[in-house]
Structure 1
């Protein structure tokens, strides 16, 4: 990465709300979900791009701190931008694949920034509240085994709820997505049938065996659910809330122990997670008491020896600070556990 990518002025900050407003009902092709909004970025701001999962937080923090800009266009796109040197840092909800690490050719540091729930917003005719789903039933919806809402495996978790005998519209991501990676990794853990059909590991670009409606970014998936009766999708809690779908996000679990996505249930999963040397933390399918099982850690990625690492260090110092972390519960996320925050803050020294 030989050229500087600090903002010289006039660059606009990405706005997740504009992504949501600009999406159509659905698309079958991968689309660039970069959006612009806000105001002019200050000179010297570090340019970032990537995951839509943390976009509401990152956009807010960049505007408040005046240290950065962020284009929310998917984890895969952000990693490509980091590889080409067009950004100083990237947002990703998934660790690098071997080919991605090889393409970058330098050590990549993972800085966890927040925890979030991958929620399952629904829009079911005649059902005005959140439903319950087991992990295997959820996997069945997304691998095509379950195709109507009155399927016995869904009905068994929802006694007293009249579920329509209507086809399920399955809303998914069209772009290379860390949310898709974490979601499919979870489904493969809880369903051997899903693993056999879709693979035993998570994928940023899954080839779905169900009939799906593909949409750009988490806001696009939320918009798909909102616009299509009898639909379900997977998005972060922040985007579900912004789309007005938070009260219809499914509780996940087993009979008698269904857990809804809340700040408390996200934190319960995070508190039980083990910290690894590279700070990549898997919090999915937590068995901790009160933990929501579909929780993901999202990361800011920076490259060893990057020309703009001094600016990136300022960005991440703000992201990991008490002011930024203290805002997360109010916008649909959860702060990092204290020990993980401490480890990430200590790692800032490696940026120089």
Structure 2
């Protein structure tokens, strides 16, 4: 009898400890952009090492998916490379905040075996390829830009994202800004009606398609291109220089636009929604964008809200130093205080 009672008490204690541990863990769910996914994955792992009571889950299915999930209340945070318009924000049940995290460049990657590195493209040439006006690698326009590459006569295989994508939003925002015919015929957004090309769902799938398809071209966040050793084109910027995507050219593109935008509002009312494409500056890479975390200003759960705010403060102050190793560009220091104030405006229920 005593032995049975001892075993019963031991089992009860074990169950109590187990239940207490389960209660202590706070699960934060997110969904959205594949653009920053390599970086966010590292942030989640590193933060869990500092605070083991937090667990993260993240569905990298594109910015459109992240927006729909946060608006429907299915996740604690959404991730997007395309900011929401005033009209889109009205659909959300409560006030959504845009928390900018990092800046990234959209590289134009290609797989032309005989051409080697060094492809140069003007905005009009890039738009022409994606409109189906330039269909072969030895088109006179491309040969004039790249006389030493020995471009082949083979057909260009155009690859684009098939899902609702923030990377697509940045890419088409750029093409709309630099090419009037693109702006009128195709436009910009997370999803567009592509004149030509083969679709790929997600950044990783797009990379794989480029790798497996000779004579192909596609657009992808620079981290994916560099991590997979893809060739990337130099794009002619507003100053007339051909610039490749890297940390310096990304920052050069972002600083001026961000300073102008940030100076317009009271610090507590910053609006971090802005486009960074086609910025002036000799060193500026022209296809650059911000990526944001979408969170509700009014949190519904005290524990989850507190943990989410703690993570947001951590990534702003500490994780930005990790960005360069994964080829992202941190926010300018001039923005840190303003972003922190926005995070501080999140209300956690008592």
TM interval, shorter chain, is 0.7 to 0.9
Once the two structures are superposed, the pairs formed by residues 236-255 of structure 1 within 5 Å of their partners are 236-245=221-230, 248-253=231-236
Q: 2:273 aligns with which of 280, 300, 307?
A: 280
1:329 correspondence with 2:324: yes
Q: Give how far 1:351 is off.
A: 0.8
Counterparts of 2:336 and 2:46 in 1: how far apart (Å)?
Answer: 20
Question: Could you say what secondary structure the match of 1:326 adopts?
Answer: helix
CA contact (8 A) 2:108 2:233 kept: yes
Q: Give how far 1:286 is off.
A: 1.0
CA contact (8 A) 1:150 1:164 kept: yes
- 5+ residue gaps, structure 1: 1-8, 10-39
Deviation digits for residues 222-263 of structure 1 (CA, Å, limit 9, x no counterpart): 111111000010100111122221xx1001006961001011
Q: 2:244 aligns with which of 255, 260, 279?
A: 260
CA contact (8 A) 2:83 2:274 kept: no
Q: Give how far 1:272 is off.
A: 1.4
- 5+ residue gaps, structure 2: 1-17, 49-53, 263-269
Counterparts of 1:43 and 1:296 in 2: how far apart (Å)?
Answer: 34
Match of 1:31 in 2: none
Match of 1:142 in 2: 130
Aligned length: 307
Q: TM-score, normalised by structure 1?
A: 0.83
1:209 correspondence with 2:195: yes
CA contact (8 A) 1:197 1:209 kept: no
Q: TM-score, normalised by structure 2?
A: 0.84
Rg larger for: 2
Q: Which 10-residue stretch deviates more, 47-56 or 93-102?
A: 93-102
Q: Give how far 1:175 is off.
A: 0.7
1:319 correspondence with 2:311: no
Counterparts of 1:116 and 1:170 in 2: how far apart (Å)?
Answer: 22
Question: Could you say what secondary structure the match of 2:274 adopts?
Answer: coil
Q: Identify if the C-alpha distance between structure 1 residues 285 and 256 changes in structure 2 by more than 3 Å, giving closer, same or farther.
A: closer
User: Structure 1 or 2: larger helix share?
Assistant: 2
Question: Could you say what secondary structure the match of 1:70 adopts?
Answer: strand
1:65 correspondence with 2:61: no
Once the two structures are superposed, the pairs formed by residues 41-80 of structure 1 within 5 Å of their partners are 43-66=25-48, 67=54, 68-80=56-68
